[in-house]
Amino acid sequence: MNRIYLHPLPVRMWHWLNALSFFVLIVTGVQIRYRGILNLMPFRTAVDIHNIAGFSLLGLFLVWAAYYIASGHMKVYLPDLNIKRFVESSWKQAKYYGYGIFRGEPNPHHATPDHKFNPMQQLAYFSIMFFLMPLLIATGVLLWDLDRFAAFIDLIGGIKAVSAAHLLVAICFAAFLFVHIYLTTLGRTPLEHIKAMFTGYEEEPEHGR
């Protein structure tokens, strides 16, 4: 077995702080939307905490972007521009998740620091980090200061449209969390990938490299 240093410390710190922010945002977000049905905390407290967590997420996103640009590792998020090759490798990965994994077949993808994600992960994380996260943050910032952004909000359809977009993306993130957490259990042991996100090291079978 090879121990690969797959998750450098900044990435791990970013990941867990991101996770914490998401957790706080989801709880306070649900509270903001369903006050009267769910009463965990006062509305104003929920809004204030949500704003703080939201800006934390914004800061973390900027840190993430700065780190990956500076380290030159941003390419791990970029899907193969060769469409045919990308489709083939994605199909191979999908077949593995949908069939091979049940038969104990080897994972067609082997992670390296420069090739961290399989094609399906690449597509998912590329969409998340380049589209959904900016959209979530942007709509959140607009809703944070309605007075300042009133004219722009009107231009793009109004408060409810912005709020609906914010909510829709947030729900997608929440739904993705179930998948994300489930996928962490697909290692050789259920906690292998979670441990790796603390230690930074993943173990890869030598013959698979």
Residue owning tokens 């961290």: 116
The answer to whether the CB of 14 falls within 8 A of the CB of 64 is yes
Number of residues near other proteins (by CB under 8 A): 63
Residue 188 CB, shortest distance to other proteins, in Å, is 5
Please tell me whether residue 62 binds other proteins under the rule CB under 8 A.
no
The answer to whether the CB of 5 falls within 8 A of the CB of 201 is yes
Residue 50 CB, shortest distance to other proteins, in Å, is 10
Residue in 27, 52, 74, 174 binding other proteins, rule: CB under 8 A: 174
Cα dihedral across residues 65, 19, 122, 162: positive or negative: negative
Q: Tell which residue, 141, 188, 196, 166, has the closest CA to residue 15.
A: 196
Please tell me whether residue 87 binds other proteins under the rule CB under 8 A.
no
Tell me how far apart the alpha carbons of residues 74 and 113 are, in angstroms, rounded to a whole number: 11
Bridge partner list, 50: none
Q: Tell which residue, 195, 8, 194, 192, has the closest CA to residue 205.
A: 192
Please tell me whether residue 163 binds other proteins under the rule CB under 8 A.
yes
Residue in 55, 67, 86, 176 binding other proteins, rule: CB under 8 A: 176
187-206 residues near other proteins, rule: CB under 8 A: 187-188, 192-193, 202-205
Contacting positions for other proteins (CB under 8 A): 32-37, 42-44, 47, 96-97, 101-104, 106-107, 109, 111, 116-118, 121, 145-147, 150, 153-154, 157-161, 163-164, 167-168, 171-172, 174-188, 192-193, 202-205, 208
